[in-house]
Structure formats: C-alpha cells, structure tokens
A and B are shown apart, each in its own frame.
Chain A
Amino acid sequence: MEKSVKIPHADEFVILPEKGEKAYVNPHPVECEAPNEQVKKETIFSNLKYLIVGAIFGIVFVKAEIVSWFRIQEMFRLDSFHMYGVIGTAVVTGMLSVLLIKRLNIKTLQGEKVQFHPKTFNKGQIFGGLIFGLGWAITGACPGPLFAQIGAGFGVVIVTLLSAIAGTWVYGLLREKLPH
C-alpha cells in the first residue's frame, strides 16, 4: 500500500512485489462513480435492499416513459419539455438532499458518516461525454434505462447491453493510450 503511485486521472495502483505486475489495490476503483463506502460488511441478503430500490427506480423509469426512444428523440429535437423536467427535478431533489445530509450531518442507517467524492476534471469527460451522447441519441437509452427496457420486454436490447459491456471493456483495454 505504501508504494502507491499517482498518475493523472487514474486509479491508484502499486507494483505487486511478488508478481512484478501492476495491479489496482484500491478496495474500489476511484473512478467508479458509484463506490461502496460502507464499512460494515454486507451479506447477499442485505444486498437485496438495493434490488428493491432498483426495482422502484425501474418502475419509475417506465412510468415516466424516460426509457422510451421517442422521449429521447423529443428531448434532442426540443419538441417536449418532459425529459428536461424529469432531469431538472431529479437534480434539484438530489441537490437538496445532499445539502441536508451535509448540513445536518445525517448518518447512514448503520450510523456511518456519508461519504462524498470530489471529481477531478479530465478531458475524458468531454471526449467520452460526446461519444456517449451520440450513442444515447441512437439507442434511446443510458445505462440505467437499458436494463429497464430489457425488463419491459424489448429483448433485442440485450444486444445493445452486450455491446455496451464490450465498449466498456475496449475502453479498459485502450485506456492508457487515450487522451485524458
């Protein structure tokens, strides 16, 4: 752990002495936007609560019709306020919640301090963002809605999901060669 090397934008890694190879030693990847910060150990059973939150979230996705390719088209054609309304309300709700958690020092159910992650800028947010935007407009889905669309019976979206996993994998492969 002591010999960690910081490279710009990248996760911390060390050279494993016995193997002489690079390996990430972080308990979770720094760039992972959804890291697990809970100290208390979680069992498979306690993970079921995330399944339930996900299910509620999936229902909202379908009911709000934001998993619809048509709604994404409307948004990018500026023909409807719907998606802007959904995203805008979500961001305001999220902001107020984060503010309250910080101000009132609200603890998690396990009594732990809530962890937030400052993000550092790198050019990937622009290049990657543009690439994602292009894909978003043709698939009509960001990663979350992909799962909801499959559940909603659009079986062919499994192909889109597999392709998205392939895209993530290729990014991992090429990562050091890409501008960040």
Chain B
Amino acid sequence: MLELIRHPWHWSIAGFLIGLTVPALLLIGNKSFGISSSLRHICAACIPANIPFFKYDWKKEVWNLFFVAGIMIGGFIGNYFLSNPEAIVVAPYTQETLQQLGVKDFSGLMPIDIFSFDNLLTAKGLVFFVIGGFMVGFGTRYAGGCTSGHAIMGLSNLQWPSLVATISFMVGGFAMTQLLLPYIMHWVN
C-alpha cells in the first residue's frame, strides 16, 4: 500500500481527488472551494490599515486559514514520508529548453538553481520570489479568485466569468513562459 502511494500518481487519480475537494467542502460545512481568499483573510487579520476591502469579519472565514495550514502540513507529509524515491521526470523538450536558459538541476520538485535562499538577495530572488509572488497575490485578488476558486469551483458550477478568468490565467502563463522568460533568464543569469 505504502509502496503504491510513494509511486508518482497518475494525473487522473490526482485530478479526481482534487475535484472531490469541491463536494467535500460543500458537504462538511457549506464552504465553496477557494484558496486565494486566505491571503485576503491574512491581510484583514494582520494589516487591515483601515482599508474598506479588509474590513469584514475574517473570523467567520477562519476555516480557510485552517485549510491552508492543512495544505502546508500535507506538503510536509507528502514530501518527507510519501515521496517518490526517484527524481521527477521532466518532459525532454522542457528539460532541453530550460537547460538552454540556465537551469541545471532537475533532481527535485523545484529547480534549486532558482528556489534557494542563496538567491534571495539577487536578481533571481527579486524576479522569482518578490515580483512573481506579488503578481500572484495581486492578480488573483483582482481576478476574484485563483485556479481553485475559478478554474475548479467556478467551472464546476458552470460560471462563465470563471471561464474568462481561467483563459486569462492561461494566456498570462503562456506569455510569460514563451515570450518573457528567455529575456528574464538572460538578465538574472
């Protein structure tokens, strides 16, 4: 059993389990699935600064903070107790292109060439952590949700604004990867 869990999972198993989060949250507590709202609750709880957008009863939404704390614990369990002993298999074309862009280490879930503390105070850190993170937080709130709230919960409930948002997420991602990333990698290296 443990052996089966440690093995990398097929996309359909993972997708099915992620999809089940929608009815699970609805049925255990009448909660719509969405994660980026946790960032808003953190703002409302810690730094509301008299901004109307952060003046609401965040304590009523505290379940969302329990949920993301759980995700963090799950990430820990998944990586330290149930992880695949072998290296992640990255598609050959992607690997080739990334190597040309200066990514050398393909052994972990994340490229250590980029996601390490050594890069924190460098141009890499500025782009990949600070600016990247800022766009994730700003963009999801501006869009009214992220991949969970729009792409999964919104589409599950047949909401066409969520389809618009999901398409915009993809367009932004393609533009960054295909058009901007080569210049960015050149600059940070």
Contact = CB atoms under 8 A, between A and B. Distances in A.
Contact of B32 (A37, A55, A126): A37
Contacts of A121: 160-161, 164
A166 B134 contact: yes
B98 interface: yes
A119 B162 CA distance: 8
A66 B74 CA distance: 13
Interface string A55-73: 1111111111111111011
A92 B177 CA distance: 27
Nearest to A102: B157
Contacts of B15: 64, 85-90, 92-93
A98 to B, nearest CB: 5
A1 interface: no
A118 B33 CA distance: 14
Contacts of B176: 76, 133-138
B137 A167 contact: yes
B60 interface: yes
Interface residues of A, number: 134
Contact of B139 (A48, A65, A130, A141): A130
A166 to B, nearest CB: 6
A21 B43 CA distance: 20
A92 B23 CA distance: 12
Contact of B88 (A13, A68, A155, A161): A68
Contacts of A100: 23
Interface in B49-83: 49, 51-57, 60-64, 66-80, 82-83
B102 interface: no
Contact of B135 (A89, A165, A167): A167
